[in-house]
Every structure is written in C-alpha cells, then in structure tokens.
Amino acid sequence: MSQTMRLWWFIFYKDQLLLEKNENGTFTIPYREVPPINIKEKTTIHDITILGNSICKSFSITSPVEESEQFVMVGLRASYEYLSVVHYQTAGKAYEILHWDRNNRFCSACGTPLEQKETIMKRCPKCGQEVYPAISTAILVLVRKEDSILLVHAHNFKGTFNSLVAGFLETGETLEECVAREVKEETGLDVNHITYFGNQPWPYPSGLMVGFIADYAGGEIKLQKEELNSGAFYRRDNLPELPHKLSLARKMIDWWIENPTSEAI
Ligand SMILES: [Zn+2]
C-alpha cells in the first residue's frame, strides 16, 4: 500500500481526542487507510486539511472509546503534551470544524437544513445563504510598568495561575481600541504604546488570540470584581504561577522574561 493511501484520523468524543499508543510509549494520531473504529450511520466525515501527502479526516463519536492497549482518549488541551505541534494544531482545526458543523445545521435566515459544500462552507438549498465557521477574536495584552508586568487571575481560569489581561473584540472596534478598553475595564489602568506581538488559533471552541504589548500610562489598579480575583504588577524575581506553555500568553511572558532590555518605554 502506498503512503498516499493512508489517512490521518482525528476522532473526537466531545473534546476528547483519540490517540493511538506506540510501542515506545509515545502517542500518535491514528494513521491508516480506513477509520480505526467503526463509524455509525449518518456520521459526517470531514476533510480537514492535507499533511504531507496524506488527507486529514475527522468525525465525532457519541460515546468515548475505552482505554486499551492500542488507544486512549485525551482532552484537546492535554493532547499538546503528546503530539507534534502540527498535529496539535490540526486537531484544533478539526475540533473547530466539528463544533461548527454541530451548531450550524439549519439556515439562520429561513430554517432550511444546510448542505455542506466545502470543508468550511455550507449553503442553504432554498435561499442560497452561505455559512462559514465564525471565529471569535480575543486580545491578550502584556502591560509593562518599569521592570514589572501586569498579571491577573480571572474567575474563569482553570487553575491557580496568573496570566495577561484578555477580552473579546467587540463589533466596530479596532484591536488596539479593544486592548485599551479591556485593560481599563478590568483593572482601571490606562495604557499606551500598543504594539502587535503575535497570534494563535484558540480552538476552545473557536477563537483567535491576538497578543499585544503595551505600556502603563496612568491610574491605580481597581479590579473588575465580576471578572478578576486578583491583579498586580510583578517583577522577574517575583513571578507567580504562570499559564501553560501551549498558550500565547505564556509565550509573551517568556519573551519578556528572556529580554531584560524589553522594559517599558
Ligand atoms: Zn435559507
């Protein structure tokens, strides 16, 4: 059998991803000609992307696969620990498409069942409306003040770590306006010198994180209690528990830690 006939199978039960166990103790996305488990009738198999010469397929299952000598299911976030970056990112894309498919079954204009036309496009056969996956854009901002940065703990964090101020982009707003508004709303501080850092797909369930660096420009910390438990400026020698390595927030904090010359302007 030629290599090109084998397919990568991204199979989800809710946010749990099916991994195959290798003999050496590592894990991989199942890679074979046919699905590694039985598929129920009426299951939609999605084409996600192509890696190398192999197509990546994805589908949802309605009950989890029991752990065995061959398989185990792990949460999408945790899969970062077991997979290559490209497989983790592809798993994220597959998860976003499955989420979109599940939540976009009918035309929002006329109520007719939608038909899938392309990997990321459905069309209404009655009125012609086209539907694509919606991406929720959120900002992250690393606020610098002299030799310290602003870190917060939000109620919705899954853990005790501290991270950067974050928030969703609102309609009609630029990303920089969003940065200034979120910092002001959540902490009462003013910022300036807002510059782009980087971005990261965030498939929990369908987001894009866009990171910015900004400088403290005035004000006293007044926390928005509905969102935050804590918030303060921390120096490099006094940092609290930080977010996981997979996140853009951590990448930004690490960049600041490793660049002592990156002080506020
Ligand atoms: Zn319609």
Q: Residues 215, 187: one domain?
A: yes
Ligand 1 centroid to residue 204 C-alpha, Å: 28
Ligand 1 centroid to residue 48 C-alpha, Å: 25
Q: Residues 11, 74: one domain?
A: yes
Instruction: Return mean pLDDT, the chain.
Output: 95
Predicted confidence band at 12 (pLDDT cuts at 50, 70, 90)?
Answer: very high
Q: Residues 77, 30: one domain?
A: yes
Ligand 1 centroid to residue 134 C-alpha, Å: 18
Q: Alpha carbon of 171 to those of 51, 168, 174, 177, 250: distances in Å? A: 35, 10, 9, 11, 27
Q: Residues 176, 211: one domain?
A: yes
Q: Residues 191, 213: one domain?
A: yes
Ligand 1 centroid to residue 106 C-alpha, Å: 8
Q: Residues 229, 217: one domain?
A: yes
**Positive/negative CA dihedral, 74, 75, 79, 82:** negative
Span between the terminal Cα atoms of the chain, in Å: 60
Q: Residues 151, 249: one domain?
A: yes
Q: Residues 98, 53: one domain?
A: yes
**Domains in the chain, number:** 3
pLDDT at 264 over 70: no
Taking the C-alpha atoms of residue 143 and residue 213, their distance in angstroms, rounded to an integer, is 6
Q: Residue 118 carries which side chain, given as an amino acid letter?
A: E
Residue 168 lies in a domain: yes
- Global pTM value: 0.89
Predicted confidence band at 1 (pLDDT cuts at 50, 70, 90)?
Answer: very low
Q: Is the bond into 260 cis (omega within 30 degrees of 0)?
A: no
Ligand 1 centroid to residue 179 C-alpha, Å: 37
Question: What pLDDT score does 252 carry?
Answer: 97
DSSP 8-state class, residue 249: H
Residue 181 lies in a domain: yes
Q: What is the mean pLDDT of residues 181-192?
A: 98
Ligand 1 centroid to residue 104 C-alpha, Å: 12
| E strands in 146-257 | 148-154, 165-168, 190-202, 207-218, 228-235
Residue 265 lies in a domain: no
Closest-CA residue to 47 (of 38, 35, 59, 39): 59
Q: Residues 145, 247: one domain?
A: yes
Span 100-141, pLDDT tens digits = 999 999 999 999 999 999 999 999 999 999 999 999 999 999
Ligand 1 centroid to residue 118 C-alpha, Å: 17
Q: Residues 235, 124: one domain?
A: no
pLDDT at 199 over 90: yes
Question: What pLDDT score does 158 carry?
Answer: 84
Predicted confidence band at 265 (pLDDT cuts at 50, 70, 90)?
Answer: low
Last residue of a domain, one of 91, 118, 133: 133
Q: Residues 9, 98: one domain?
A: yes
Residue 263 lies in a domain: no
Ligand 1 centroid to residue 13 C-alpha, Å: 30
Residue 126 lies in a domain: yes
Residue 216 lies in a domain: yes
Domain interval for residue 116: 104-133
pLDDT at 4 over 60: no
Ligand 1 centroid to residue 132 C-alpha, Å: 14
Question: What pLDDT score does 263 carry?
Answer: 65
Residue 264 lies in a domain: no
Last residue of a domain, one of 85, 102, 119: 102
Span 220-253, pLDDT tens digits = 999 999 999 999 999 999 999 999 999 999 999 9
Q: What is the mean pLDDT of residues 89-95?
A: 97
Ligand 1 centroid to residue 44 C-alpha, Å: 21
Ligand 1 centroid to residue 200 C-alpha, Å: 33
pLDDT at 3 over 60: no
Ligand 1 centroid to residue 238 C-alpha, Å: 57
CATH of the domain at 178: 3.90.79.10
Q: Residues 174, 243: one domain?
A: yes
